[in-house]
Amino acid sequence: MRITSRWLLLAQWLGLFSMLTVPAQQAIVNLPSADITPEGKHFIMHETQWRPWNPGRYWYATNFYCYGIGKNTELAVTTYNSGTPQALNENIGVGFKTALPMFQKRHPAWEMKWRWGRW
């Protein structure tokens, strides 16, 4: 097996990036991404992150609200980092989601859906 300079350069870059420390955060909302709120119905979810001891005592909340508008579509509003002490990056996000059933007549047990939208 011959190692070309292109593969060697790629291996060097991967090795370099594997040594970097990058601060990151991932928000995971406990909602199945293909479930849609039924038309005319409301869905509300609250998530709390809390540390009651000092130093660094805090309480932060994520609130998620959806309203089903029909045709497999829902509108959503999400607030992030509400709480105390006040976060520097408190945010409100608005969006929508559509999930269209696929193969529903042929394979109803599959529950496959094509999802499109922005939360």
Residues 6+ apart with CB under 8 A from 110: 102, 103
What pLDDT does residue 73 have? 92
DSSP symbol at 109 = G
Q: What is the pLDDT of residues 95-118, one digit of tens each?
A: 898 888 888 788 888 777 777 776
Q: What is the pLDDT of residues 43-100, one digit of tens each?
A: 988 888 888 898 989 898 988 899 999 999 999 998 888 888 888 888 888 989 888 8
pTM metric for this prediction: 0.62
Per the model's pLDDT, the better-predicted residue between 15 and 33 turns out to be 15
Residues 6+ apart with CB under 8 A from 72: 36, 98, 99, 100, 101
**C-alpha to C-alpha distance for 60 and 73, rounded to whole angstroms:** 29
